[in-house]
């Protein structure tokens, strides 16, 4: 079964005015769809990998054959990162965390304001294309920037909440103002989606 582009659970315009509909459309139907197509093209060369999930592939890149390892890292990472991203943002998002997210954030960062400031700082500090991720490392919520489409799962982490800072995620509306995009993005966080990741 080839990898498939997951449907968005909301309309492209649902995150307006924070994230514009055109950006959402190009991001999902363009960029994410291309990662899926390129991942499938890579796996087609090694049918013995076809039974692996994208999580399994990324968690053990060393076992992926040399000739497709970079393609799987980049396009599998792109597929995995975006599949999470669409579920941890949504309409009527933002505000203070609830449930398991609130507990994990309080335990590791003492309060949400500190967590938010550190996630924003990591996202601003990521030079060029990449992500800032909040993820579980040895069970504790941790924040770090990742280049390109790398994901904490390849370091043994459990990805919880990531923000895409590739220019394609914001350039149409925010141009070079990554900080403005990030401030707006916090208003789209779907804490129910984050809590489902912590429960999984």
Concatenate the DSSP letters of all residues of 113-169 into one string. Answer: HHHHHHHHHHHHH--SSEEEEEEEETTEEEEEEEETT--GGGGT-EEEEEEE-SGGG
Of residues 116, 81, 94, the one with CA closest to residue 197: 81
Residues that bind Mn ion (CB under 5 A): 164, 166, 169
- Nearer CB in complex with Mn ion: 72/169: 169
- What minimum distance in Å lies between the beta carbon of 102 and Mn ion? 27
Helical axes 178-185 vs 112-125, angle rounded to 10°: 150
- Nearer CB in complex with Mn ion: 167/183: 167
Strands 130-137 and 158-164: antiparallel
Q: How far apart are CA 41 and CA 176, in angstroms?
A: 33
- What minimum distance in Å lies between the beta carbon of 99 and Mn ion? 27
Helical axes 191-199 vs 77-88, angle rounded to 10°: 120
Of residues 63, 62, 64, 60, the one with CA closest to residue 39: 64
- What minimum distance in Å lies between the beta carbon of 164 and Mn ion? 4
- What minimum distance in Å lies between the beta carbon of 182 and Mn ion? 14
Q: How far apart are CA 87 and CA 143, in angstroms?
A: 19
Instruction: Report which residue's Cβ sits closest to Mn ion.
Output: 164
- What minimum distance in Å lies between the beta carbon of 23 and Mn ion? 10
- Nearer CB in complex with Mn ion: 115/166: 166
- Nearer CB in complex with Mn ion: 84/169: 169
- Nearer CB in complex with Mn ion: 54/169: 169
């Amino acid at each position: 079964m080839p990898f498939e582009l997951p449907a968005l659970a909301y309309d492209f315009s649902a995150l307006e005015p924070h994230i514009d509909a055109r950006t959402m459309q190009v991001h999902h139907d363009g960029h994410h769809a291309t990662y899926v197509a390129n991942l499938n093209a890579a796996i087609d060369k090694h049918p013995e990998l076809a039974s692996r999930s994208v999580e399994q592939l990324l968690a053990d890149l060393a076992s992926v054959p040399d000739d497709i390892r970079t393609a799987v890292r980049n396009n599998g990472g792109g597929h995995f990162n975006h599949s999470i991203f669409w579920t941890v943002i949504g309409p009527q998002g933002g505000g203070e965390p609830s449930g398991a997210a609130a507990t994990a954030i309080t335990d590791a960062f003492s309060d949400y304001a500190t967590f938010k400031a550190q996630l924003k700082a990591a996202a601003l500090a990521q030079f060029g294309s990449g992500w800032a991720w909040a993820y579980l490392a040895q069970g504790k919520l941790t924040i770090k920037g990742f280049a390109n489409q790398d994901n904490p799962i390849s370091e043994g982490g459990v990805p919880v909440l990531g923000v895409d800072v590739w220019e394609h995620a914001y350039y149409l509306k925010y141009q070079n103002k990554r900080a403005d995009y990030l401030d707006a993005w916090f208003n789209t966080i779907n804490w129910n989606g984050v809590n489902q990741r912590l429960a999984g």
